[in-house]
Amino acid sequence: MKVSKEKAAENRAAIVTAAGRLFRERGFDKVGVAEITKAAGLTHGGFYGHFASKDALAAEACEAAFAESLDRLPADEASAEGALAAFLTRYLSERHRDHPEAGCPMAAFAGEMARLDPAVQDRFGAGVERFFAAVAARLPADGGAGDAGRRARAIAIVSALVGGMALARATARTGPELSLEILDALRTQLGAWGDGQG
C-alpha cells in the first residue's frame, strides 16, 4: 500500500522525534533502529525508506533536539525575573536534571560527540553556535567590551551549564545533596556572570 506524501512526512517526523528523545536519554550507541521505529509507532522495515543510515538519522535528530530546546527560549522573555535568569532557573532545575530525554542536547550529547559521524558533529556544532548567540542576546553590554565580550561571557555560561548539568546528573543518585548544591551554586554564580559582575 502506497503511503501519501503527508503520511510519509508524518512518519519521518515521528522517527526523528523518537530518536531525539531516546538518544538524549541513553546515548547514540545504546539505541538501535528497531527500538526507535517501535517508539515512533512504526515497523523497522520502513526505516531505510526515510534514512540512508542511523548516522543520517542521528544528524537530523540532533538538529531537531536543538530546535526544540531553542524554541523554549522565547517563553523566558516574558518572565518577571528577566530572560537570562528565567533561562538559568529552567536549565538548572531538578526537572531538567531528571529528564534528559526532553532536555538540552548539549548536556546529553557532549560526552560522546567526538566519537560520532562528522555529519552529526556538524549539526551539533551548529546547534552550539545557536545557543551561544541566544545566550549572548540575553546579556547586558559589558562595559565597552562589545559583542566580543558578550560572546565570551555567553560561551563561559553555556559551557558551565553543560558541565554543571553533567555533574548534577552524575551525582543525583548517590549524592543528591551535592547534585542540588551544584545546581544552586550555578544559578547564583552564572546569574552574576550574566550581569557582568562575575
CA distance 186 to 50: 41
The DSSP element (H or E) to which 34 belongs, if any, is helix 33-39
**pLDDT (tens digit per residue) in 4-43:** 888 889 989 999 999 999 999 999 999 999 999 999 998 8
How is 152-171 classified by DSSP, letter by letter?
Answer: HHHHHHHHHHHHHHHHHHHH
Answer whether residue 62 is part of any domain. yes
Prediction pTM value:
0.88
Answer whether residue 10 is part of any domain. no
What is the model's pLDDT at position 154? Answer: 93
Instruction: Print the domain residue range for 173.
Output: 55-194
- Domain total of the chain: 1
Answer whether residue 66 is part of any domain. yes
**pLDDT (tens digit per residue) in 59-113:** 999 999 999 999 988 888 888 888 888 999 999 999 999 999 999 999 999 999 9
Kindly state the cell numbers that stand for 65: 533536539
Query: Is the alpha carbon torsion for 165, 166, 169, 171 positive or negative?
Result: negative
Kindly state the cell numbers that stand for 119: 555529519
Answer whether residue 26 is part of any domain. no
Answer whether residue 142 is part of any domain. yes
**pLDDT (tens digit per residue) in 118-173:** 999 999 999 999 999 999 988 877 655 678 888 999 999 999 999 999 999 999 99
The CB density around residue 161, as the number of other CB atoms within 10 Å, is: 22
What is the model's pLDDT at position 30? Answer: 95
What is the model's pLDDT at position 97? Answer: 97
Backbone torsions φ then ψ of 94, nearest 5 degrees: -65, -35
Please determine, for residue 55, whether its predicted confidence score (pLDDT) is greater than 50.
Answer: yes
What is the model's pLDDT at position 198? Answer: 45
Answer whether residue 149 is part of any domain. yes
Answer whether residue 24 is part of any domain. no
Sole residue written with cell 532557573: 89
What is the model's pLDDT at position 193? Answer: 73
CATH number at residue 123: 1.10.357.10
Structural contact between residues 62 and 109, judged by C-beta atoms closer than 8 angstroms: yes
Answer whether residue 71 is part of any domain. yes
